[in-house]
Chain A
Amino acid sequence: MITRRNKKLALLLAMMLILSIFAGCGGGTEEEQQPVGEKATIPVGINVELSGAVASYGSNARDGAVLAIEEINAAGGVLGQQLEGLQRDCKSTADEAMSVSAALVGENIVAQLGPLTSGDVAGSTPIMMDNKIPLIAPAATAANVTVDEKTGETRAYIFRVCFIDPFQGTLMAQFAADNLKAKTAAIYADTSSDYGKGLAAYFKQTFIEKGGTIIAEEGFVSGDRDFNATLTKIKGSNPDFIYVPGYYQEVAPLIKQARELNITAPIGGGDGWDSPDMLSVAGAEALNNTFFTNHYSSQDTDPQVVAFVEAFKAKYDKEPDAFAALGYDCAQLLVQAIKDANSTDPQKITDALANIKDFVGVTGKMTIDEQHNPIKAGVVIEFKDGAQTVNTRIQP
């Protein structure tokens, strides 16, 4: 009796296992369904975080990149060939990023887009350098991603389309001191990411140089949802400005709780804030008097941005966040480089990438400098009754 029931259960569980494998295959075959022209395709590696801690950033950037590739293919591809995006999951770990890159290199990719975090890009870096294939990072902001800090040399095959930490931290410090006339500031940073810590460090440096004082330095970690205790403490020190570098998942409830505690001081942050969830979680009222540095706004009226937002919504039924926009730009930048190089040879693409000038992406016009960072305009965006409005534009 018992054994019979066990057998039934075994069958059930085995079926679940098989089904789940099929479901997985179902997800995997999507990428193969892209229209393939008669000519050979150009394989492009998309090595992003689809599971693990930062899966939501990775999958948004992937969505952006895939959208770009589809648009390019629909418009006839590049050099008469279709692009083929090879999506792989690096599980939000650096060792998997390395292993995935090696596997992608084995599939003769001409370039790799992703991963998202600086750490995962670092894992991928040695493989790309060894094989002399370019990597375009959508959102890796740490200064040492494209430059070897020990030797000061630029990593020849690593590029990015996002700001670096010093730029944003400095920008917000200047804005707080000059525009908001803040004398004292509290920093409440995401200490579980290099992004949050990096921005906080450069903000602090510039703000002190500007004659301000940092009166409180606190931290939260990714996944936190309750910030009341630390906010109450910050409220006690009564700062003129609160700097909250982190990602929107934590920042949105944080701002809401701050306002619920009657903290009225202006709050500022970086591009990690950019998500439609900010408004739906925190609410329009709480977001008044908050500012963040960014390269783009999904509310922008620029026709290229509007077209991107429309296409993204039509395909995925959601608003694109900053990661989606950066992923989109990565793919577009690569296509530009392939066109410039008039070749799909990775070395020639790399040379073309290093010489990109005035490329117009949805996150702004960019020129790649000698350290492989994009020089592009920054904006300080202010929330006004729920709408993102550009407060200050800063040209490089």
Chain B
Amino acid sequence: MLEFSQQMINGLSLGAIYALIALGYTMVYGIIKLINFAHGDIMMVGAYVGFFSITLLGTNIVVAMLVAMIFCAALGVIMEKIAYRPLRNSTRIAALITAIGLSLFLEYITVVILGPAQKVFPASAFPVKVYNIAGLSILNKQIFVFVSAVLLMLILQYIIKRTKTGKAMRAVSLDQEAAVLMGISVDRTISITFAIGSALAAAAGVMIGVYYQTINPLMGIIPGLKAFVAAVLGGIGLIPGAMVGGFVMGLLETMVSGYGNSLYRDAVAFGVLIIILLIKPTGLFGKNTGEKV
């Protein structure tokens, strides 16, 4: 029982990270129906910006996170302007291939500029404390990641449900043409979506830096894929879905390693994706919609 409770804690903190990345995936997908393959790599860029902000500028972790979020928000907007906007009316395959191209570009331009070796996040940026409660060990960084994930999700939910921008986003996601007729600037709304999504990824990147202490140019690939699985699992395009999907993925992986065979953990994660896609492609919380002709 003790071991199981510890595994729950492990799973929830891993899930919080997946959830954070999944939020950005889901936002972008919700609005332009594009799997932004480069999302995991924006997270990587965010981690690097945070790293340099701490080591070169000597800022603390909160400022570093803000710097990373602003930088990546700008990066996301530029990416959308240059690469995705011209493709808005072409096939989805074209957009997806561009996304793959952007992902590879971000990865390898970082390798070219900063080298392939990992960089170590300074431990002083976030001193770790271990709390031992009834035989369980809980880390302050686990609490930090968990709380910030939930907090960011609530803020996001507020923006989308209560603010004007959020209403514009929902309108664009429902029907672009009708939104234009209502006087909503589609371009601007999509830019804002990319900015918010990328900023979230950057926050996740800095958190991963703090949590696992090492960052490298290819660090975005696997968490990016897993977070995507999480977003699909919860129902892509749905904010609470991404959140729940992230936690489910984190718990599932932890339980597979903890009670099954750790060698097949990744295979199980992808297996879940396939099963979900086949049985209920709209995810756990998605509504089934008919196909438009």
Contact = CB atoms under 8 A, between A and B. Distances in A.
Interface of A: 6, 9, 12-13, 20, 23-24, 27, 50-51, 55-56, 59-60, 191, 218-221, 223, 225-226, 228-230, 232-233, 235-236, 249, 252-253, 256, 260-262, 277, 280-281, 283
A59 B216 CA distance: 14
Interface of B: 3, 6-7, 10-11, 13-14, 82, 86, 108-109, 111-112, 115-118, 120, 123, 128, 130, 132, 137, 139, 208, 212-214, 216, 218-219, 221-222, 253-259, 262-263, 266
Contacts of B213: 252-253, 256, 281
Given A233-B258, A280-B120, A281-B120, 19 more contacts: A12-B82, A20-B109, A23-B112, A51-B111, A220-B262, A221-B266, A223-B222, A225-B212, A225-B219, A229-B11, A232-B6, A233-B257, A235-B3, A236-B3, A249-B214, A249-B216, A252-B213, A256-B213, A281-B214
A284 to B, nearest CB: 10
A225 B216 CA distance: 12
Given A51-B108, A249-B214, A280-B123, A6 B257 contact: no
Contacts of A233: 3, 257-259
Contact of B116 (A24, A51, A221): A51
Closest A-B pairs by Cβ, 10 of them: A55-B116, A229-B257, A228-B10, A229-B254, A225-B212, A56-B117, A229-B258, A280-B120, A230-B257, A219-B263
Nearest to A318: B117
Nearest to A53: B218
B255 A229 contact: yes
Nearest to B138: A260
Nearest to A256: B213
B108 to A, nearest CB: 7
A354 B119 CA distance: 39
A277 B123 CA distance: 12
A162 B96 CA distance: 44
Contacts of B112: 20, 23-24, 27
A232 B258 contact: yes
- Which of A50, A219, A228 is the most central at the interface, judged by chain B CB atoms within 10 Å of its CB? A228
Contact of A230 (B128, B218, B262, B266): B262
A6 B214 contact: no
Contacts, number: 98
Contacts of B218: 223
Nearest to A59: B116
A55 B128 CA distance: 31
A226 B15 CA distance: 11
A50 B112 CA distance: 10
A225 B137 CA distance: 18
A162 to B, nearest CB: 20
17 contacts: A56-B115, A56-B116, A60-B117, A191-B263, A223-B219, A223-B222, A226-B14, A226-B212, A228-B10, A229-B10, A229-B254, A230-B262, A233-B3, A233-B259, A253-B213, A260-B128, A280-B120
B215 to A, nearest CB: 10
Nearest to A250: B214
Majority DSSP secondary structure for residues of B touching A = helix
Contacts of A219: 262-263
A261 B86 CA distance: 50
Nearest to A2: B86
B3 A232 contact: yes
Nearest to A52: B116
B214 A225 contact: yes
B82 A9 contact: yes
A158 B58 CA distance: 49
Nearest to B135: A262
Given A228-B254, A262-B137, A59 B115 contact: yes
B103 to A, nearest CB: 15
Contacts of B10: 226, 228-229, 232
A232 B1 CA distance: 12
A223 B226 CA distance: 13
A55 B216 CA distance: 11
A350 to B, nearest CB: 32
Nearest to A278: B120
- Which of B208, B214, B254 is the most central at the interface, judged by chain A CB atoms within 10 Å of its CB? B214
A221 B116 CA distance: 18
A59 B6 contact: no
Nearest to A56: B117
Nearest to A188: B262
Contacts of A221: 266
Contacts of B255: 229
Nearest to B118: A249
A148 B82 CA distance: 54
A13 B256 CA distance: 45
A219 B219 CA distance: 20
Contact of A260 (B82, B139, B254): B139
B191 to A, nearest CB: 16
A243 to B, nearest CB: 15
B204 to A, nearest CB: 13
Contacts of B257: 218, 229-230, 233
Given A23-B112, A59-B115, A283 B123 contact: yes
Nearest to A5: B86
Given A229-B257, A230-B262, A261 B123 contact: no
A314 to B, nearest CB: 18
A340 to B, nearest CB: 35
B166 to A, nearest CB: 29
A6 B219 CA distance: 33
B137 A260 contact: yes
Contacts of A230: 257-258, 262
B86 A9 contact: yes
Contact of B253 (A229, A253, A283): A229
Contacts of B123: 280, 283
